[in-house]
Amino acid sequence: MNPDNTTAQGTPAEGELPASATRNACKLCSPLGAAMVFKGVRSCLPFLHGSQGCATYIRRYMISHFREPVDIASSSFSEEDAIFGGARNFEQGVENVISQYQPELIGVATTCLSETIGDNMLGMIKSYQDKHNSSGPPLVHVSTPAYTGTHSDGYYGAIDQLVRTFAKPMTAKIAGHVNILPAMMSCADLRHLRELCELYQLSPTILPDYSATLEGSSWGEYHRISPGGTSLEEIEEMGSATATIEIGHTRAYLKNTPADYLEKTSSVKRHALGWPLGIRHTDQFVTSLSQISGNRLPESLKDERGRLVDAYADAHKYVSGKTAAIFGEPDLVIAQAAFLSEIGIRPIICATGAKVKKWKQLLSSEIEGGVADVEALSGTDHAKISARIRELKPDLILGSSKGYPIARELSIPLLRIGFPIHDRFGGQRILQVGYRGTLAAFDRVVNALLENKQDTSETGYSYL
């Protein structure tokens, strides 16, 4: 392909797309996902074992999305440590973290560097604890080399390790206690999940819960570690819950998930659900809450559901028959695809940077009317996504800020969802769960389409 066929943005306009290099990745590295989970545990300090650049880069991106302090420690490998191993740095790093932060938990994630040299993390943690007579906070470790998996895998991996490491096998159940294991959601989503549980008189343990740590208020005094998050005790007692709701369409078909572990070790019933976005999935979610609590749908939710259905009916004329491209984390993409197809928009491009087995099949069970016209791209990058968007010209693009160049090039509205959102304000509090979150998402979709129609119309009527 010669340069004349490229656009101003440098993305190829047509022709075969080469495959060896990833051009404008649609995924981030796995330690980022793990760090996000550790930020959702009370008084936990994330610690990356490797070169300090990893911690710095990840902090940089999380901060630009959440606009909150994000402290992540690093064992700061030097060239020598890369050759002889990082045990000494690890020990010194942990000591310093304890003396400065007094954390209740240290969440250790590995990096490409420590994984490539084969540092034995479990051994290092054990020898640290032996040396200190197990005094000091506990440590948990998740293996997150970026050369396997994406930030989404790091996220689920860290939840898994927290549950397996700390949740005690329990037989006694506490009525009304439920565990929620969310997908990578916004702070507003996590808050609303709690609110929904409480409407059913349930007391949830949400893991992770970074709704306060990554979207806090102004502080009267400085906190070394942001207040909020799920406590270690709560994680230890997850076995006392009557049920676990594990959110994420890709998770539902997996065995050996943390919810599955809790079911096996403590007979906590696993409810594997999709992301509660859209009426159908929210119905399933509240049905689970009903079953777990024995309580009926509260009036307030009934009203919210009613208003949502009413809105669907009112705006059907604006959305019906429209098409969309979605990109992002696998569970986010499936959730959006299900929602859009429910309101009458065809999700003709469903793309994720993660390599997901049976991606098209996963989508097909969520998209009404079959997937014959849906391009299911997994393990893809923005160069390929952009090429397909140019070809298929959808009416709407949904995804992170990284979709901006193609949206601008083709004058297609971009609805920013997922991670990271660094060119708009408030990305950390976009609500997309429950009837209320669905209504908010629906309004955004309708208005994006209306705005575009108005802006590109010849008459520019103000009454639509």
Find the binding residues for other proteins in span 346-365 (CB under 8 A). Answer: 353
- 285 touches other proteins by CB under 8 A: no
From candidates 113, 397, 398, 414, binder to other proteins by CB under 8 A: 113
From candidates 43, 89, 186, 230, binder to other proteins by CB under 8 A: 89
Residues 249, 336: Cα–Cα separation, whole Å: 11
- 176 touches other proteins by CB under 8 A: no
DSSP for 86-115, please give it. Answer: SHHHHHHHHHHHHHHH--SEEEEEE-HHHH
- 77 touches other proteins by CB under 8 A: yes
Strands of 59-164, DSSP E: 73-74, 105-110, 139-142
- 47 touches other proteins by CB under 8 A: yes
* Number of other residues whose CB lies within 10 A of the CB of residue 419: 28
Residues 163, 391: Cα–Cα separation, whole Å: 45
**What single letter denotes the amino acid at residue 89?**
N
Using CB under 8 A as the binding rule, the residues of this chain from 400 to 429 that contact other proteins are 405
- The residue (of 117 and 311) whose beta carbon lies closer to other proteins is 117
- 131 touches other proteins by CB under 8 A: no
Residues 58, 45: Cα–Cα separation, whole Å: 14
Q: Which of 410, 406, 445 has its CA nearest to residue 320? A: 445
Q: Are strands 346-352 and 139-142 parallel, antiparallel or unpaired?
A: unpaired
- The residue (of 223 and 358) whose beta carbon lies closer to other proteins is 223
- The residue (of 32 and 334) whose beta carbon lies closer to other proteins is 32
- 69 touches other proteins by CB under 8 A: yes
From candidates 133, 222, 370, 463, binder to other proteins by CB under 8 A: 222
Residues 384, 398: Cα–Cα separation, whole Å: 16
- 135 touches other proteins by CB under 8 A: no
Residues 198, 202: Cα–Cα separation, whole Å: 5
From candidates 168, 224, 264, 296, binder to other proteins by CB under 8 A: 224
From candidates 133, 135, 218, 462, binder to other proteins by CB under 8 A: 218
- The residue (of 133 and 171) whose beta carbon lies closer to other proteins is 133
From candidates 51, 110, 213, 240, binder to other proteins by CB under 8 A: 51
Tokens, residue 244:
């676990």
Residue with tokens 């689970």: 288
Tokens, residue 180:
């929620």
From candidates 146, 181, 241, 445, binder to other proteins by CB under 8 A: 146
From candidates 35, 37, 41, 54, binder to other proteins by CB under 8 A: 54
- 10 touches other proteins by CB under 8 A: yes
